[in-house]
């Protein structure tokens, strides 16, 4: 049984691919409520409770860890959640496939690859580093089979809370100005959500991939301005881009905890942020979706949600 922790866009992407492959799937969420295809089990569990985490994974062969607490509660809850997931995976004797971001590297000059040292100085970057190291040590110690897939800021169907989520795409489909973080003329790698999901499944099914971190496949980095221009062009409107800096986030942070927590991570949009996924591509021959097509599919999804 494939058990997916989290019913967000990444968990759903994994679920759709596994269903197409005819694999048995169980999805786990805190609410236990979500519209899912027939045949997909959906169970409720609070992963901050170790007993519930162990119980919900008892029939798992492969576990996909796509769950996380609210962004502003990472420091308080994320490590505890992951520890409980580890307990559940170990009790089940299952393999653990973990989705991560790229916070642990900190500010990097040049492209990011998997052999870089963890040099983060932000609170969330240091936390990500510690969580990742803990996972890989469990594998090295022979206690749990673990593989990690790392993606950049993602976009695609169902992706709402992202730098290129609903606050980016909804204005574009209406022909209105969109707002982007930082410097729109810096290069940035964006990860298509369906590429992320397919990559995690590929990693989970490859025995010699375990014990390592892998950057999932991405289209070539473009500037955020170019990314937005592609989206406007596909939507049939002239591009109109506004920028948001730390000052605006600080004002928003007075009322919105997530905005306040974003401030320390804005360096990712103030400098080139380029991800090297050649290690994954060389082994799996699983290409990234062309950016123009991925953006068009994302716009189509937002249009369908609007109607």
> Domains in the chain, ordered, with CATH?
2-153+190-215 (3.40.50.720), 156-189+220-275+287-306 (3.90.25.10)
Question: Residue 213, Cα to own-chain centre: how many angstroms?
Answer: 14
Digit-coded pLDDT (tens) for 138-185:
999 999 999 999 999 999 999 998 999 999 999 999 999 999 999 999
Average pLDDT over residues 19-32: 93
Digit-coded pLDDT (tens) for 81-106:
999 999 999 999 999 999 999 999 99
Angle of helix 224-235 relative to helix 166-173, nearest 10 degrees? 40
* Distant-in-sequence contacts of 45-51, Cβ < 8 A, 24+ apart: 47/5, 47/81, 47/84, 47/85, 48/77, 48/80, 48/81, 48/84, 49/84, 50/83, 50/84, 50/87, 50/88
Nearest to 43 by CA among 60, 30, 61: 30
Phi-psi region at 142: left, alpha or beta (left = phi > 0; alpha = psi -120 to 50): left
The alpha-helical segments, DSSP class H, found in the chain are: 9-20, 50-56, 79-92, 123-140, 166-173, 193-204, 224-235, 246-253, 257-262, 267-270, 278-284, 291-306
Nearest to 74 by CA among 205, 264, 307, 266: 264
What is the spatial distance between Cα 140 and Cα 149, in angstroms, rounded to a whole number?
17
User: What is the structure's pLDDT at 301?
Assistant: 97
**Helix or strand (DSSP H, E) at 178:** strand 178-181
pTM for this prediction:
0.95
Phi, psi of 170 (to 5 degrees): -60, -45
Output the six-digit token pair for 171: 């204005």
Using pLDDT thresholds of 50, 70 and 90, give the confidence band for residue 245: low
Nearest to 306 by CA among 190, 170, 180: 170
User: What is the structure's pLDDT at 37?
Assistant: 84
Residue 252 scores a pLDDT above 90: no
Residue 108, SS3 per DSSP: coil
Output the six-digit token pair for 306: 């609007």
Digit-coded pLDDT (tens) for 26-76:
999 998 888 888 889 999 999 999 999 999 999 999 999 999 999 999 999
């Amino acid at each position: 049984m494939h058990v997916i922790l989290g019913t967000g866009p990444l968990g759903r992407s994994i679920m759709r691919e596994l269903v197409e492959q005819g694999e048995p799937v169980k999805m786990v969420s805190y609410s236990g409520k979500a519209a899912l295809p027939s045949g997909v089990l959906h169970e409720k569990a609070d992963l901050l409770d170790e007993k519930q985490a162990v119980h919900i994974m008892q029939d798992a062969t492969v576990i996909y860890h796509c769950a996380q607490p609210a962004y502003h509660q990472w420091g308080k809850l994320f490590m505890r959640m992951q520890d409980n997931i580890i307990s559940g995976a170990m009790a089940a004797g299952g393999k653990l496939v973990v989705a991560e971001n790229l916070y642990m590297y900190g500010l990097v000059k040049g492209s990011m690859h998997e052999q870089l040292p963890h040099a983060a100085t932000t609170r969330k970057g240091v936390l990500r580093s510690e969580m990742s190291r803990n996972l890989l040590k469990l594998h090295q110690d022979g206690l749990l089979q673990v593989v990690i897939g790392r993606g950049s800021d993602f976009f695609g169907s169902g992706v709402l809370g992202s730098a290129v989520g609903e606050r980016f795409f909804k204005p574009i489909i209406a022909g209105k100005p969109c707002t982007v973080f930082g410097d729109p003329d810096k290069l940035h790698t964006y990860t298509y959500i369906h590429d992320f999901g397919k990559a995690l499944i590929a990693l989970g099914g490859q025995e010699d991939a375990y014990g390592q971190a892998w950057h999932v496949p991405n289209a070539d980095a473009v500037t955020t301005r170019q990314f937005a221009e592609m989206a406007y062009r596909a939507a049939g409107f002239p591009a109109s881009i506004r920028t948001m800096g730390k000052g605006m986030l600080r004002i928003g942070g007075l009322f919105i905890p997530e905005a306040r927590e974003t401030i320390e991570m804005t360096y990712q949009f103030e400098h080139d942020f380029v991800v090297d996924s050649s290690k994954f591509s060389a082994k799996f021959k699983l290409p990234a979706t062309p950016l123009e097509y991925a953006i068009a599919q994302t716009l189509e999804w937002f249009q369908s949600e609007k109607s």
